Amino acid sequence: MTFMCSKAARGGYFWLFFSFISALSVLLPRVAAAAETVPVEAMEWWVWIVLLFVFSFCLGIVAVIAGVGGGVLYVPIVSSLFPFHLDFVRGAGLMVALAGALSAGAPLLNKGLANLRLALSMALIGSVSSIFGALVGLALPAHIVQLALGGTILFISFVMLTAKKSEFPDVKPDKLSQILHIQGIYYEESLKKDIDWQIHRTPVGLVLFILIGFMAGMFGLGAGWANVPVFNLVLGAPLKVSVATSVFVLSINDTAAAWVYLHKGAVLPLIAVPSVIGMMLGTKIGAKLLTRVKTKSVRVIVITLLTLAGLRAILKGFGI
């Protein structure tokens, strides 16, 4: 009976999310077109703000369940659905990713899942490149950024669809990781034992974090989609350590890029704050629902949604 109820509940939640995402996919092009053609005065400003809050809240729920950061969903979808310029959407996207990373960082560090040394080593180089990414992104014409954003989002969809995961990679530590003392032990709940871990291919990881930081700064995306595979598959950190440390790295890299957007006047509180609050509340609800829904199905829907948003960004970039 309990099994049946929980199965029914899972099914209910799944169809709730499926309906939400399907409605979004159908409405996305129409609402976006309306947002571009109807003068903003035709709709009270506070209606947009409330819609943005509700939308960010829903996005927060979906993002946690799909195992992606909020920023990567926020920028392509909000820039398609709302009448805000891409500059402000990217500025708000960075703040969304930053606020989420700040609020999640402390518990992950306390549990020993996120590793300070691993994060600091990679974030130093990533934060410098994220500053340059932000400068380039704000200097380029909007349609070029739209095209590049669309291409990047399609690439992210591909990575999410094809990336493999390795729970406990087999690693022989390299010289640099030994010099930097990047290693650790964390308690694995599922196995009820401590897991010893080390990393390898540290120089390759550093080079990849230059690219990741640049893209995060340029598009205002959180870069969890890229951080996790690099930590896990390239550097060989266990999957849970990779996910947790990725969140922590975001808080440093996004901070660097956020300052550039702040100094360029590309962060409007009217857009950024409702997004930050909505996304953070949604993330908390999503974390509670996480055990009750079929994450694999939601992940497929999110990948589909990202693909649609990526295609739409490319069309917008071509002025279509």
Half-sphere exposure of 55 (CA within 13 A, CB side): 23
> What residues contact residue 215 under an 8 Å CB cut-off, 6+ apart?
133, 152, 221, 223, 226
* Smallest distance, another protein to C-beta of residue 51, A: 13
When the beta carbons of 17 and 82 are compared against another protein, the nearer one is: 82
Least distance to another protein, CB of residue 42, Å: 11
Closest separation in Å from C-beta 173 to another protein: 13
Closest C-alpha to 63, from 233, 305, 256: 305
- State which residue, 66 or 99, has the beta carbon closest to another protein: 99
Between 48 and 74, name the residue whose CB sits nearer to another protein. Answer: 48
Nearest-10 Cα torsion for 70, 59, 272, 265: 60
| 232, 165 Cβ separation under 8 angstroms | yes
Q: At its nearest, how many Å lie between another protein and the CB of residue 61?
A: 18
In the complex, what is the shortest distance from the CB of residue 316 to another protein, in angstroms, rounded to a whole number? Answer: 13
Within 10 angstroms of residue 311's Cβ, the number of other Cβ atoms is 16
64 Ramachandran zone, left/alpha/beta (phi>0; psi -120 to 50): alpha
* 182 or 208: CB nearest another protein: 182
Residue nearer to another protein on the CB measure, 61 or 108: 108
CB of 73 to another protein, least distance (A): 20
**And the tokens for 68?**
């992606």
Q: How far apart are CA 66 and CA 72, in angstroms?
A: 12
- Write the CA distances from 36 to 76, 188, 210, integer angstroms: 16, 50, 36
Phi/psi of residue 197, each to 5°?
A: -140, 155
Nearer to another protein, 60 or 105 (CB): 105
Smallest distance, another protein to C-beta of residue 275, A: 11
* Residue 5 Cβ vs another protein, minimum distance, rounded to whole Å: 35
Query: Quick one: DSSP state of residue 40?
Result: G
Given the rule CB under 8 A, which residues bind another protein?
40-41, 45-46, 48-49, 83-88, 91, 95, 98-99, 102-103, 105-107, 109-112, 115-117, 120-121, 123-124, 127-128, 131, 134-135, 138, 142, 179-181, 183-185, 194, 251-252, 255-260, 262-274, 276-277, 280
CA distance 127 to 76: 22
Task: Give the number of residues written for the chain.
Answer: 320
Residue whose CB is less far from another protein, 54 or 106 = 106
DSSP 232: I
By C-beta, is 128 or 300 nearer to another protein?
Answer: 128
In the chain, DSSP assigns E strands to: 183-188, 193-198
Q: What is the spatial distance between Cα 137 and Cα 131, in angstroms, rounded to a whole number?
A: 10
Coil, strand or helix: which one is 295? helix
